[in-house]
Amino acid sequence: MAIINSTNRKVCQMKIALLSMAVSALIAAPAIAQDTVQQTSLGTALAVEFAQAAVTACSSDGYNVSAAVTDRSGVLLALVRSENAGAHTANASTAKAFTSASSRNPTSAIADNVAKNAGAAGLADIPGFLVLAGGVPIKVGKDTVGAIGIAGAPGGNLDEACANKALEKVGARLK
């Protein structure tokens, strides 16, 4: 009988411990939810499609470019470079995408702001920022989920046009 009572006591103690942990988890769950954030970000497979679509759009206009796509935080997900694009275009497109993602704005708007507002000139000094047209945020509704940066066309406005063509072609999948 002592063996059965001892076993029953251990089982009962284990059940109480498990029940206590479950209740603690239920009580703590709302507190954890208040301390965390869920955000939507672009996935890698779609980022590759955006980058390829941008390079194709620029190639059809006769421009050899690089296209970089980042997630919502500005972390590089995809980089596609035309065979004849300049070596500098890979870094420039990545910096434009980072700048657009982190600011949640087209880099052309940032460049205009810096040109017109002496107080905004310091934006060009932020590490990793490239204040030239050619970076465009990728949005779902009002939320930025990533960004695309293009470099290599003979003008930032042309880089941005290629980015917008890619957004028109692939962006419908985000809705």
Question: Exposed/middle/buried for 83, CB within 10 Å: 0-12, 13-18, 19+?
Answer: exposed
Q: What is the pLDDT at residue 30?
A: 63
Q: Is residue 77 helix, strand or coil?
A: strand
Mean per-residue pLDDT of the chain? 89
**DSSP alpha helices (H): ranges in 35-83?**
44-60
- DSSP designation for 38: -
Q: What is the pLDDT at residue 24?
A: 66
Q: Given 3-state DSSP classes, what are the helix, strand and coil percentages for the chain, each rounded to the nearest 5?
A: 60, 15, 25
Quickly name the fold that domain 44-174 has. Beta-Lactamase (3.30.450)
Q: For CA atoms 56, 60, 63, 64, give the dihedral sign.
A: positive
**Residue 72: its H or E element:** none
| pTM for this model (two decimals) | 0.80
Tell me if 66 sits within 8 A of 93, measured CB to CB.
yes
Residue 137 has phi, psi (to 5 degrees) of -70, 150
> What is the average pLDDT across 62-74?
97
Q: What is the pLDDT of residues 71-128, one digit of tens each?
A: 999 999 999 999 999 999 999 999 999 999 999 999 999 999 999 998 888 888 889 8
Query: Rounded to whole angstroms, what are the CA distances from 147 to 5, 8, 10, 16, 102?
Result: 66, 61, 58, 51, 9
